[in-house]
Each structure stands twice: as C-alpha cells, then as structure tokens.
C-alpha cells in the first residue's frame, strides 16, 4: 500500500501558512522503497525531465544508504527538496511508474523530498576555468544552471531583479506548499559552492547585456521568467479589487501585504473569484482563503476533468473550502464606487478538441452572475520585453516568436545571438513548470560549458 504523509488538519490550515504536509517517517520511507520493482527499463526515469536515476536512489533507501541516495539525486538535480514538493509527479515520474497501471505508483516525490530534506550536497574540489558566466534570474533554471556551471569551474554570478532570491519559487509558490526554510537552504548551498548573487538588478534597466559583455562575462544565460500577466480583456478589468495572480501572490508571499503592519496592505473583501484552473489558480485561491476571504471561488471554462492543476492541489483546495464553478467564461466585472462588485459569466459547453487536444468551450447564450468583490486572474503569463528592447538599442536583435518569447535551439537553449542562451518561462520548450525549467537550465549549462571549453 502506498505510504502517505501526515497532513495538517484542513480546518486549522485554512488560517495559517505552515506546510500542509509533513515528511514521511523513516519507517514509511523504507516501506515505500520496498514497493519499487527496480525495473530494468525504468519508465519513471524517462518521465523525469532531468532524468534522475530514480530506481538507483530508491535502491539506496532500501539498503538504508540515505547519503548515497542524496548523492545519486544530486548528480542531476540540485533541488530535491523543492522538486519533491512542487513537481507534477502524477504526469511525469509517477505517471510512468509500472505499478500505477493497475494500482498505485511509487510515491517518488515524497521519497525525493525526504532525501532532499535529510541530506546535503557534498562539496567537491572546483578547478577554476578562468571563464565568467552571467545568469539572469534566480529561479529553477538559473539555480540549476549555476550549480552545473560552477562545478565545471566557471565564475558564476546570478542577477535577480527582486529583493530576495528564488524567483517564482519564492514570490509565486506559497510557503504552505514550499516552506521558505527549504528554499533558503538550497540557495545557501549554491553560495557555499562559490556562486555569487546580486539582487535588485534589472538586466535591461540597471545593467544591459552589452555592459555584461564589457565586464568580461563570456556567456549569458537569460532565465528571467515570464512576469507579464495575461488578462481577460473584458469590461471592468481595471477596477480596484482586480488582481493578476502574479501581483496577488507576490504581494502576499514576498511583501507581506496580508499582515497588519504592511506598507502595501491587501484589501480583503467577502468573496473572491479566481479565474483559471492551473497550479497558480490553486495557489491563489488557497492563499485567498488564508488571508481571510469568507468565500473563494475557482471559475473555470471547462469541466473538472480538464483542470491542468496537480490533483493534490485540487484536493487540498476543496478540503480548504474553495468552491469550484465549471463551464463558466468571464463576460464582465461589475462596478460599484470604483471597485469590483460582482461578475457576469456565460455558461459554456464542450465542443470539438482544440490545438491542445482538449475539448473547446463553446458559449450557450445563457448567463449567470457571481457575487464577489475581488477578482484574481490566473490565466498565465507572457515574457516581459525589457531585455529584448534594451538589447535592440545596443544592436542585439534577438529572434523572438509571435508572443515575444526567445527563439532558442531546443537542445542547447542558444539564442540567435552567439554566447547568449535563454531558458525557462522566457523561452519555453514544453510545459511550464519547475522541473522543465531545471531541464532547460541543465541543457543550457552543458552547452555553455562546451562553448567555453
């Protein structure tokens, strides 16, 4: 039987930002590891974007070799504690587990998290290469690339636009999913390796790519994320009480806007509607519950079976009282005294599949209202063009696609400008999530190292 971690009581966790799940116990880890079949052709490894040797680290756990399990994971992933918590395992490693065909897959994420929390990276001798690499952004892709490039001997500096490090892991993912102590530990390990961190630096404003090159950086890896929110383009979207999920989560996670002494306090009303169905929507809704909204809705234009969020996040949201409204498409945000005061939706039905393979929502001509005084839009983000515009002024004309994302070689992540690479949400290849961003960081690091060598 699959082992499951102990969870904080659903009624208690609605009122705090403490971690929802505890780690498995040592006894549970051993019992779960014993379930692994140690397949000769492990599908779970193929399902992992960074190809962690999953059967090998689980075998080490079976043999009570915890430190060895940590070493195996960190050969390919510097963030086991993070990935064990936020990766969509049911669609990747666990989704490919043979045991999951007729029963329950191995709890690979929980095992990885346990190993990450109870072991640390071993320091190794670094032979200086004499080369310098600049990394723009301190999220998953940047941290991963920095680790691999530093191990190769290069002088690595990460430039972060915000006043704290971690990128979307810090400002986007709430601490009840990813405790800040875990993220701080991972970043501290990089500092101990010799990676340099510079915060409050907006590349394209504080410093340009041209200036980085003039300062002697031999290569640049741009992984600044996609921070430009996609909105609904409906009447009332500019009213007070309407937020992008990026703004809402950043203000709470990074700026403490929900605290009484905040200099930028959050206006908490009676009811909030979160528009969208991905992990960010779940994070926003569960955060809205915790900051004090009496009712929180997730409004999604398809049905529950099409929700792209992790199953665990959907379950947790329901347990915490989030109300789901399916087959509803936003039409208008109503106004009272300059503030949001209700929403109008069109009732949808599912038609033929669209380009994503999911059945496309089709309007029925019927409408419904929802009594809310706050709206949080979680429909994804696009690339901020600051770097591209600044580079253009300096004579660097990057090739970008119709949406403004960097066009890169999918294997090397090299842009159209030699010595400059891009990855993560600013140059997506595949789904946008932590482990795919790490995969991009690893590919970029290998290509940069090959180039510098």
Q: What is the pLDDT of residue 67?
A: 96
Q: Where are the domains of the chain?
A: 10-118, 132-227+383-452, 229-381
Answer for the pair 348, 252: CB distance below 8 angstroms, yes or no.
no
Residues in the chain, overall count: 453
Q: What is the CATH number of domain 229-381?
A: 3.50.50.60
Q: What is the pLDDT of residue 144?
A: 93
Average pLDDT, the chain: 94
Q: What is the pLDDT of residue 430?
A: 73
Number of other residues whose CB lies within 10 A of the CB of residue 120: 15
The sign of the torsion formed by the CA atoms of 198, 199, 201, 203 equals positive
Task: Using the CB atoms, write b or e for 169-184: b if 16+ within 10 Å.
Answer: bbbbbbbbbbbeebbe
Q: What is the pLDDT of residues 203-249, one digit of tens each?
A: 999 999 999 999 999 999 999 998 889 999 999 999 999 999 999 99
CATH architecture of the domain 10-118 equals Orthogonal Bundle (1.10)
Mean pLDDT, residues 379-387 taken together: 91
Q: What is the pLDDT of residue 81?
A: 95
Is residue 343 very low, low, confident or very high in pLDDT (cuts 50, 70, 90)?
very high
Q: What is the pLDDT of residue 405?
A: 93
Q: How far apart are CA 173 and CA 176, in angstroms?
A: 8
CA angle 160, 162, 166 (to 5 degrees): 65
Q: How far apart are CA 442 and CA 47, in angstroms?
A: 16
Is residue 20 very low, low, confident or very high in pLDDT (cuts 50, 70, 90)?
very high
Which two structure tokens, joined as six digits, stand for 282? 């779940």
Q: What are phi and psi of 185, to 5 degrees?
A: -65, -40
Q: What is the pLDDT of residue 206?
A: 96
Residues whose CB is less than 8 angstroms from the CB of residue 318 and which lie 6 or more positions away in sequence, other chains included: 324
Answer for the pair 257, 288: CB distance below 8 angstroms, yes or no.
no
Which two structure tokens, joined as six digits, stand for 228? 């430009």
Q: What is the pLDDT of residue 435?
A: 84
pLDDT > 90? residue 264? no
Answer for the pair 399, 414: CB distance below 8 angstroms, yes or no.
no
pLDDT > 80? residue 376? yes
Q: What is the pLDDT of residues 393-446, one digit of tens each?
A: 998 899 999 999 999 999 999 999 999 999 999 998 877 788 889 999 999 999
Q: What is the pLDDT of residue 227?
A: 83
Q: What is the pLDDT of residue 125?
A: 83
Closest residue by Cα to residue 77 from 37, 109, 107: 109
Q: What is the pLDDT of residue 216?
A: 97
Q: Do domains 10-118 and 229-381 have the same CATH topology?
A: no
Mean pLDDT, residues 339-362 taken together: 92
Q: Helices (DSSP H) in 267-342: which residue ranges?
A: 279-291, 311-319
Q: What is the pLDDT of residues 121-150, one digit of tens each?
A: 887 789 999 999 999 999 999 999 999 999
132-227+383-452 classified as CATH 3.40.1350.10:
no
Q: What are phi and psi of 386, to 5 degrees?
A: -55, -50
Q: How far apart are CA 69 and CA 434, in angstroms?
A: 21
Q: What is the pLDDT of residues 293-337, one digit of tens each?
A: 999 999 999 999 999 999 999 999 999 999 999 999 999 999 999
| Extended beta strands in 250-391, E state | 271-275, 295-300, 323-326, 328-336, 339-353, 359-370, 374-377, 381-382
Q: How far apart are CA 142 and CA 139, in angstroms?
A: 5
* Single pTM value for the model: 0.93
Q: Helices (DSSP H) in 224-341: which residue ranges?
A: 245-253, 279-291, 311-319
Q: Residue 409: is it exposed, middle or buried by C-beta count within 10 angstroms (0-12/13-18/19+)?
A: middle
Q: What is the pLDDT of residue 244?
A: 97
Q: How far apart are CA 134 and CA 195, in angstroms?
A: 10
Residues whose CB is less than 8 angstroms from the CB of residue 435 and which lie 6 or more positions away in sequence, other chains included: 48, 49, 50, 83, 87, 88, 92, 140
Q: What is the pLDDT of residues 51-92, one digit of tens each?
A: 999 999 999 999 999 999 999 999 988 899 999 999 999 999
pLDDT > 80? residue 168? yes
Q: How far apart are CA 30 and CA 61, in angstroms?
A: 7
């Amino acid at each position: 039987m699959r082992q499951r971690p102990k969870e904080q009581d659903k009624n208690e966790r609605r009122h705090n930002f403490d971690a929802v799940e505890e780690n498995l116990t040592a006894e549970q880890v051993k019992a779960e590891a014993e379930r692994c079949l140690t397949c000769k052709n492990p599908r779970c490894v193929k399902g992992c974007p960074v190809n962690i040797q999953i059967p090998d680290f689980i075998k080490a756990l079976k043999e009570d070799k915890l430190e060895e399990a940590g070493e195996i994971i960190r050969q390919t992933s510097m963030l086991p504690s993070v990935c064990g918590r936020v990766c969509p395992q049911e669609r990747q490693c666990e989704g490919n587990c043979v045991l999951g065909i007729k029963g329950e897959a191995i709890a690979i994420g929980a095992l990885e998290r346990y190993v990450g929390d109870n072991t640390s990276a071993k320091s190794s001798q670094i032979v200086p290469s004499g080369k310098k690499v600049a990394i723009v952004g301190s999220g998953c892709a940047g941290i991963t690339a920095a680790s691999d490039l530093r191990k190769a001997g290069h002088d690595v500096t990460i430039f972060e636009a915000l006043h704290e490090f971690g990128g979307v892991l810090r400002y986007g993912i709430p601490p009840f999913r990813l405790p800040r102590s875990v993220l701080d530990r991972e970043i501290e390990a990089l500092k101990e390796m010799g990676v340099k961190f510079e915060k409050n630096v907006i590349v394209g404003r504080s410093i340009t790519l041209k200036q980085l090159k003039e300062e002697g950086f031999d290569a640049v890896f741009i992984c600044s994320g996609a921070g430009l929110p996609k909105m609904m383009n409906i009447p009332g979207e500019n009213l007070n009480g309407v937020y992008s999920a990026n703004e809402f989560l950043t203000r709470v996670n990074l700026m403490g806007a929900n605290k009484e002494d905040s200099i930028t306090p959050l206006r908490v009303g009676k009811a909030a509607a979160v528009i969208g169905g991905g992990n960010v929507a779940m994070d926003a809704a569960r955060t809205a519950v915790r900051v004090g909204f009496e009712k929180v809705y997730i409004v999604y234009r398809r049905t529950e079976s099409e929700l792209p969020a992790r199953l665990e996040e959907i379950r947790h949201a329901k347990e915490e009282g989030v109300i789901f409204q399916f087959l509803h498409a936003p039409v208008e945000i109503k106004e009272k005294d300059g503030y949001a005061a209700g929403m109008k939706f069109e009732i949808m039905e599912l038609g033929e599949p669209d380009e994503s393979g999911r059945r496309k929502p089709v309007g029925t001509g019927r409408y419904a209202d929802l009594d809310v005084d706050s709206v949080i839009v979680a429909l994804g983000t696009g690339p901020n063009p600051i770097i591209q515009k600044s580079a253009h002024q300096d004579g660097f004309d990057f090739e970008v696609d119709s949406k403004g994302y960097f066009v890169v070689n999918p294997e090397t992540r090299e842009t159209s400008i030699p010595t400059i690479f891009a990855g993560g949400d600013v140059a997506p290849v595949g789904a946008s999530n932590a482990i795919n961003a790490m995969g991009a960081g690893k590919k970029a690091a290998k290509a940069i190292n090959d180039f510098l060598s």
